Structure 1
Amino acid sequence: MQLPIRTMIDQLTPTRTLRLPIWISCAGVPILVLHAMLGADWPGALQRLALTLMLAGATLLCGGLVGFLFGFPRARPSESHGEGAGPQRYRANTNLEEVSDWLSKILLGVGLVQINKLGGLAHAIAAQSVQGFAGGPGDIVFVVALLAYYLICGFLLGFLATRLVLATVFEAVDDSQELSEKIALYDRIEDQLRPEERAEVMNRRRHAESRLASMLSSRDSPRGELDRSAREYESLRRLLPTGSERTMKMSEVVARVRSLAGSMNPSVESVKRIFGKGGDGDRVVALALLESLGSGEAADIVEQALEQSRSSFEQYLALRVARQLVDSLDTLQRQRLLDLLQRLREGRTQGVAITPDSDRWEPSERLLERLARGN
């Protein structure tokens, strides 16, 4: 899932801590301008100013890179093996974390071993840099001070920005991913539980959905999130092989969409427009929104998704939605749905049949029982 990082960063209160090193860095600019303008004509002064600013900027970036390496957040140990946790299918790529760890140790080790030579190294760099200046007696001292000043500022900026901003963004991504996985797992096991257990799982799922909705609503517009979810679903179907991992990833997409439905309050007409776009992802997004609506006005969409489903996953989701709509259906709608389910279970349809060995057999059986009781 792509994140609008700029929006997230603007909302992070820890970035106020960055103001001090930023102001200190900016405070040195007038001194750089003043030094460049003294003792030289305008062409020479502009040349000195350009060289000074480039040297300060390069030093600031070098210090920022070192601060980034030392401040790069470390991944916490996985807690997915606790009670009720699902199987761990993958973990985040930590190559950059490992590289930053090794480079930090190398820089620290070399710095401690060669600490007595650092002064000479700084003087040598200053002597090379000062050749672009007019050659005044204080230029070497000025360049050494410039290097030290902006190296420290860059280190503070890189370290604090990495610790306060990057770590917070990583945690937000991990938290939303964890909630999506948890909701998807609740969805998959719900039909296998006893009624009292199912009620507890549904309460936990709703709580997780409300937390996820608050996180998603602060990142981008709900409409943009729906479009991204539809495209992500289509990418998962296209790129991942058929199996439990792909099913869980697609269930996570549905979990995010359903979490957004509470804050969007979509109308049945808007959901029908999304479904009518015709894309596989659009159809699944529309069904996920319908699951939270529970309106009998959408019965025609559910029937179409059941009888003309593009995939087994879409049909499974349509069965879940149909179960939510049962109480709002009239007698005629109930009978049509009952007949459709029987045809699908008996293979008397051109669409995707519901076979006893599929994960849709149990939900369809529960739905048939509810329809039979209602009739």
Structure 2
Amino acid sequence: MDDWAKLLTAVAAVLSAVAWPLALFLTAFLFRDVLRSAINRIPSILDRVKTASIAGVRVELERVADAEKEDEAGKVTPNQKEVAARIAVEKSDLGSQPLLKELDRLCLEFDALRRNLPSGDIRTRAMTRVMVQMRSLSPSLIEFIDAYKGSGSAGSRLAAIAMMQMVPTSADVGWLEGRFKSDPPFIFYHAALALQNALDSPDTSERRLQEIREAARRALERVRSFSGTPDHSTVEVLKTMIAGTS
């Protein structure tokens, strides 16, 4: 009798072990078309989620551009840093590629503004809006800075400058000084701001401080050598650095 009881117990254990896998197999087999359709839809669902997230990033960029005041002269503000921090958090879900596409869109927009709008306050304000948005993206994309520095596009070089403004330790002093030789006034004004931010950074060594001031001195000489009236804002930023009171 005991042997029969042991046998029945063993059979029950085997059936119990097999029952759930068998049930799952039968369910998967019977509903295979439904499951296949659901699995095939997963990539499109993820794409829609990413699209919605990028749309949210774009809205945030527009809001930070709208919030900036003209009297702030295009400088980095706490609001821009706050938005940049939020976008950096979203990068963990989005990845770099969607943000790079957004930054490239801004580079093209800047180039189009320079090409299509006449020089003046309207164009400057429009380009400043682009720069503000670039800043909010740039800390999340700092690892791509070399590609933007080496670009033939003025908009891409401006994106590199935005990265240097937001991450002063990334500032390439020699490259920034070079902007005063080959780029338009809007870009070398922002190059001056990038130098100033690097000068003000607590992580800047004494040797680097001297390097930045020397670059600012040479840049100021070049700006003053241009025909016509030199850009007042650029001159003031460079003079402040040279004086050591930034």
TM-score range, shorter chain: 0.5 to 0.7
The equivalences for 1:200-279 within 5 A come to 202-211=77-86, 221-264=98-141, 266-267=142-143, 270-279=144-153
Judged with a 3 Å threshold, the aligned counterparts in structure 2 of structure 1 residues 342 and 238 are, in CA distance, closer, same or farther, namely closer
Q: SS of the counterpart of 2:118?
A: coil
Q: Deviations over 1:290-336 (max 9, x none)?
A: 11221266111111112x14211001110110001125252651353
Which among 283, 301, 322 is matched to residue 157 of structure 2? 283
Give the C-alpha shift of residue 237 in structure 1.
0.8
Alignment of 1:100-139 (within 5 A): none
What SS does the corresponding residue of 2:233 show, helix, strand or coil? coil
Distance 2:228 2:172 in 1: 22
The alpha-carbon distance between structure 1 residues 352 and 288, as it changes in their structure 2 partners (threshold 3 A), is: farther
Q: Deviations over 1:95-132 (max 9, x none)?
A: xxxxxxxxxxxxxxxxxxxxxxxxxxxxxxxxxxxxxx
Distance in structure 2 (CA, Å) of the matches to 1:182 and 1:175: 11
Letter in 1 for 2:81: R
Summarize the Cα distance change of 1:185–1:207 in structure 2 as closer, same or farther, 3 Å threshold.
farther
Q: Indicate yes or no: 2:198 matched with 1:325.
A: yes
In the TM superposition, what is the alpha-carbon distance from 1:345 to its structure 2 partner?
Answer: 4.8
Work out the number of aligned pairs and report it. Answer: 193
Higher helix share: 2
Q: 1:345 to 1:175 in 2, by over 3 A?
A: closer
What CA RMSD, in Å, does the superposition of the two structures yield over aligned residues? 3.7
> Shift of residue 248 of structure 1?
1.8
- In 2: Cα distance, 1:358 partner to 1:227 partner: 30
Structure number, greater radius of gyration: 1
For residue 340 of structure 1, report the CA deviation from its aligned partner: 0.7
Q: Is the 8 A contact 1:320 1:363 kept in 2?
A: yes
Given the alignment of the two structures, is residue 294 of structure 1 paired with residue 179 of structure 2, yes or no? no
Contact 1:254–1:288 (8 Å) recurs in 2 = yes
- Structure 1 unmatched runs, 5+: 1-5, 13-164, 191-200
* TM-score, normalised with respect to structure 2: 0.62
Q: TM (normalized to structure 1)?
A: 0.43
Compute the displacement of 1:235 (Å).
0.6
Secondary structure of the structure 2 residue equivalent to 1:360: helix
Change (3 A) 1:352 1:235: farther
Using the aligned pairs only, state the percent identity.
18
| 2: CA distance, partners of 1:283 / 1:301 | 10
